[in-house]
């Protein structure tokens, strides 16, 4: 650490403190996204009696120091039951000339994880990712039919960690905020995504992030986050009061009763609309006969539409395809027509093609992956 970098850091902190004190840099929340959707808190994690986080190292890549353990400690208070870290079996794979893990390899690793289902979070730590330019990304569901066939409805929550992008994109604050701290913050951020907050769209923006700069789930890509981070010598590692209240409300409404992790639960009760829609689409349109399930596809797509108040044309499109797979072409035509009425111009060509299929009493099939 040089004297110059230390002086620059101290100067930046002093300037931000001065601006905040004079009201020139008020850290107001970011404006909520008008297209944001309400989503339920994911209760199996918030209320599960036993939640497992399984960490899998790819080609020897690990989180530095105790950053993963610290991230888990940061979120432990938001889980009503026991939260446990399990070391997964290290994986060695051929990453090719570019040294990046492919989506196919990633989902193969998920399929081999010891833990799966709604009470599990699998963290895959790789040197580089072919499919993501972000340091870490939370997701739920499966993007390939092959993985879907292997895991069925036991899909775990998943966090993909890209060490190369951590080194390239996560900023540090000399003397105060190290690269190891950056790892801790980003993993904490993604673990909070798994809980399903922000739940209310009134404080949601930029793909499910909170509008409050002091929240760990704020998208740290603007002047608000820069000012907050410099003033506080690093980004926050806790949820804001509003996000925490949403979790506590769900736990209180259930009278603190925990969900048994050994029992089977219908994910349609709790999953985010976008994930319900994605799974329904696979079940309705897959070219693999073993995967398709029209009845289940209708159930999941209907729930996604209910959660979005029947105003999302893409979800209505999926529901139409689900009804077609189930053999109810009259309903398929009805919802495809509704999707067309709501759709932006860019979607109408595909929607019209599917409507023509349904009028001909034929289901839609996606290309084989």
CA distances from 19 to 22, 23, 30, 86, 212 (A): 5, 6, 18, 45, 19
Q: What is the pLDDT of residue 275?
A: 82
So what's the pLDDT on residue 128?
Answer: 96
Looking at the structure of the chain, the number of domains it has is: 2
Same domain, 126 and 241: yes
**Do 335 and 207 share a structural domain?**
no
Q: Are residues 135 and 78 in the same domain?
A: yes
Let me know if residue 201 belongs to a domain.
Answer: yes
Asked if the structure places residue 329 within a domain, the reply is yes
Residue 220 and residue 279 share a domain = no
Q: Which of 185, 213, 248 is the last residue of a domain?
A: 248
User: Using an 8 Å Cβ cutoff, are 138 and 158 in contact?
Assistant: yes
Assigned domain for 223 exists? yes
How wide is the angle at C-alpha 353 spanned by C-alphas 301 and 271, nearest 5°? 15
| Statement to judge: residues 206 and 283 lie in one domain | no
Do 60 and 189 lie in a common domain? yes
Summarised one tens digit per residue, pLDDT across range 139-170 is 876 544 444 444 455 566 899 999 999 888 77
Q: DSSP secondary-structure letter at 290?
A: T
Tell me how crowded residue 212 is: count the other CB atoms within 10 A of its CB. Answer: 24
Query: Domain check: are 222 and 330 in the same one?
Result: no
Q: Indicate the DSSP class of residue 144.
A: S
Question: CA angle, 136 as apex, 135 and 142 as ends, to 5°?
Answer: 135
- 187-207 tens-digit pLDDT: 999 999 999 999 999 999 988
Angle, helices 223-231/3-22, rounded to nearest 10 degrees: 110
Same structural domain, 176 and 323? no
- Residue 72: what are its φ and ψ, rounded to 5°? -65, -40
The per-residue pLDDT for 269 is 75
Do 167 and 288 belong together in one domain? no
3-state SS track over 203-261: HEECCCEECCCCCCCECCCCHHHHHHHHHCCCCCCCCCHHHHHHHHHHHHHCCCCCECC
Domain extent, residue 353, equals 272-359
Residues 144 and 50 in one domain: yes
| Domain assignment present for 18 | no
Residue 239 lies in a domain: yes
Domain assignment of residue 37, yes or no: no
In DSSP terms, 85 is beta-bridged to 53
Residues 210 and 329 in one domain: no
Q: Is residue 85 part of a domain?
A: yes
In a shared domain, residues 88 and 163: yes
Q: What is the CATH number for 214?
A: 3.40.390.10
Residue 263: predicted pLDDT: 83
What pTM value is reported for the model? Answer: 0.81
Q: Are 354 and 362 in contact (CB under 8 A)?
A: no
Determine which helix (DSSP H) or strand (DSSP E) holds 316, and give its type and residue range: helix 313-325
Query: Which CATH number do you get for residue 346?
Result: 1.25.40.10
**Mean of the pLDDT values across residues 320-340?**
97
Average pLDDT of span 223-235: 85
**Domain-embedded: residue 364:** no
């Amino acid at each position: 650490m040089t004297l110059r970098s230390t002086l620059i850091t101290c100067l930046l902190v002093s300037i931000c403190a001065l601006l905040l004190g004079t009201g020139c840099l008020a850290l107001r929340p970011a404006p909520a996204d008008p297209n944001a959707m309400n989503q339920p808190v994911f209760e199996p994690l918030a209320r599960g009696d036993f939640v497992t986080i399984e960490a899998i190292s790819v080609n020897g890549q690990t989180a530095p120091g105790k950053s993963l353990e610290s991230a888990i400690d940061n979120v432990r208070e938001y889980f009503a039951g026991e939260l446990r870290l399990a070391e997964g079996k290290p994986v060695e794979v051929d990453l090719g000339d570019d040294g990046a893990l492919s989506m196919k390899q990633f989902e193969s690793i998920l399929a081999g994880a010891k833990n799966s289902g709604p009470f599990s979070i699998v963290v895959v730590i790789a040197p580089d990712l072919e499919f993501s330019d972000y340091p870490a990304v939370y997701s739920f569901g499966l993007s390939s039919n092959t993985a879907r066939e292997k895991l069925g409805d036991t899909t775990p929550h998943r966090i993909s960690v890209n060490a190369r992008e951590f080194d390239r994109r996560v900023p540090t604050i000399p003397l105060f905020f190290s690269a190891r701290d950056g790892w801790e913050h980003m993993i904490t951020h993604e673990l909070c995504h798994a809980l399903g907050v922000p739940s209310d769209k009134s404080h949601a923006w930029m793909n499910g992030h909170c509008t409050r700069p002091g929240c760990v789930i704020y998208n740290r890509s603007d002047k608000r986050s820069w000012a907050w981070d410099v003033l506080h010598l690093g980004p926050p590692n806790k949820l804001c009061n509003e996000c925490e209240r949403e979790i506590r409300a769900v736990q209180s409404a259930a009278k603190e009763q925990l969900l048994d992790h050994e029992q089977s639960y219908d994910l349609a009760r709790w999953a985010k609309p976008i994930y319900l829609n994605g799974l329904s689409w696979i079940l309705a349109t897959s070219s693999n006969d073993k995967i398709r399930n029209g009845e289940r596809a209708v159930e999941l797509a209907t729930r996604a539409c209910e959660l979005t108040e029947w105003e999302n044309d893409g979800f209505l499109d999926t529901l139409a395809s689900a009804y077609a797979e189930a053999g109810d072409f009259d309903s398929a035509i009805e919802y495809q027509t509704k999707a067309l009425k709501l759709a932006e111009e860019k979607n109408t060509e595909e929607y019209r093609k599917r409507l023509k299929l349904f009028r001909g009493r034929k289901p839609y099939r996606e290309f084989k992956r």
